[in-house]
Structures are given as C-alpha cells and as structure tokens.
Amino acid sequence: MTITAAQVTEVAQAVQQRWSAVPKVGVILGSGLGGLADRIAEPTVIEYTELPHLPKSTAIGHAGRLVCGTLAGLPVIAMQGRFHMYEGHPPELVALPVRVMQTLGAELLVVSNAAGGLDPSYQVGDVMVIDDHLNLMFRNPLVGANDPQLGPRWPDMCQPYDQQLADRAQQVAREQGFLCHRGVYVGMLGPTYETRGEYRMVRRLGGDVVGMSTVPEVIVAVQLGMRVLGLSTVTNACSPDQLGETTGEQVVAAAASASDKLMAIVEGVLSSVVSEG
C-alpha cells in the first residue's frame, strides 16, 4: 500500500470541516491511556470511520476517534486509540494520522503506549520516557517509492526523541513526586506476547520495555521534522524466569491505573512549550 500526498490532504480537509483550529501538538493515546482525552477542553470528536482512508480501530481499550480541542493552553489533536500492524494494517497506514496532524499544523508529537517492563527494576504502573527505540517489527513505513512531498528519502534516526522534552518530562515527575524512568522501547510486531527467549533476547539487545506500536509513527514524525516525546506505561513485568500469563484486559487495566502520572507529564510538558512561546 502506498500513502499519497493527496490522501493525506483529503483526511486533513475532512478534519478541518469539523474543527477549524490549527493544532500545535498531535497526541497518540495507547492502550488504557485514552482518559487523557477527557482533559481536552471544548472537544470536537470525530470517529475514524467518519474520515476517508482511516480504518476502524479494533484493539482493546482504543476508542477509535480523534478528539480535537485545547490542552494545557495549546490546540491539540489527539488519537484516542491507534492502529497497529498486528491488526493487519501496513506500517504506512498505521502512521498516516501523523502525516495528517503535521499537515494540519502540528509541530510536536506526544506518543504513548502500554509496554512490558524488561528492566527488572521497573514496576507495574511506572512510567518511562522513551530515549530511543529498537525496530524489531522489521517493517518501515517509508519503504517504497518516495514522494518528496511526504518528506526526505533518508531521514536521520540518530535522535528520534527530543531530549529537551524528555528532560522536562522527568522534571515534571520529580516535581509531582513519582518515579519516571528513561530508556529504550522495543517495538515488536505482535499480537502475541513474547516468549521467555524473546524477553531475554530484547533485554540483551538493550531494551528496557517492549510493546507492539509507536515505532512506525515516530519514524514518520522524524521524517516530517516533528519534535517527539515518547511515554511508556509499564503494564506487566517481563521477567523470563518468573512469568505469569498476560492478557489484553490486564494490560489495559494496568495502563489506566497509571493514567494520572501520564496526564501530569503531558500537561506539564505542554505547559512548558506554552511558556517557550
């Protein structure tokens, strides 16, 4: 599947017909983290099925809609639920909403996810600021013919996550009195949770948390020149020698339990963006 500039424009125009503001920030809310959308003031809600070229979100805990409005004094467009490759979507379609956000005016992307904790010091309910990622999905949304209108052919990925935003996120956590880690997110295709051998492998490769999303969206955001803040909520402990069964419902519940921490970080970071002008 190839995403064209015309398709991006069509989706953006369909959003503008319902919400005419220019977003400063795009937000992607992962499993169990959709509650942040309730903090958006004067919301305009648009179901994905009401927009061209966007599929229906089928993952547990994903409402499947855009929520547009104001958060921490900034106009934002938030995905309350995302698309995943394990749902059968190609990576370029998974990342299409990021292109739409940037076309509408967003310069900053906040992307969140529920993830398994690989670092043995991480506890369920902890938050980790993503410092870097490993793409073990082995798929890339930029593969195929390159349209210069959609960005450069070879975007540099040496620093996909904005270090200033990451520093501010950890500062907010300290001010609020809760622990916030910083580490490497490992993107796996899914939809199965990892085997014990896979947990050992990704930990030895340098991963601190593991999940099934985020990487395609961040790659496209970097191609588009957006600043990126990535946040993972630890929803289960991935100790290969002390594993218990993991279910999607448990992951969603654990992510929701940590939503106040995530909200505090996002609102704190966006407030600092406002102060920067």
Give the residue numbers of the binding site for phosphate. 31, 62, 82-84, 114, 213
Question: Which residues belong to the annotated binding site for a purine D-ribonucleoside?
Answer: 194, 236
Give the side-chain half-sphere CA count within 13 A for 101: 32
Q: Do residues 235 and 115 touch, judged by C-beta distance below 8 A?
A: yes
Query: Cβ-count burial of 243 within 10 angstroms (0-12 exposed, 13-18 middle, 19+ buried)?
Result: middle
């907010």: which residue's tokens? 172
Residues contributing to the annotated binding site:
31, 62, 82-84, 114, 194, 213, 236
- DSSP letter (8 states) at residue 39: G
3-state secondary structure of 127: strand
Instruction: Please give the backbone phi and psi of residue 154, each rounded to the nearest 5 degrees, phi first.
Output: -125, 75
Residue 63 Cα to chain centre, angstroms: 15
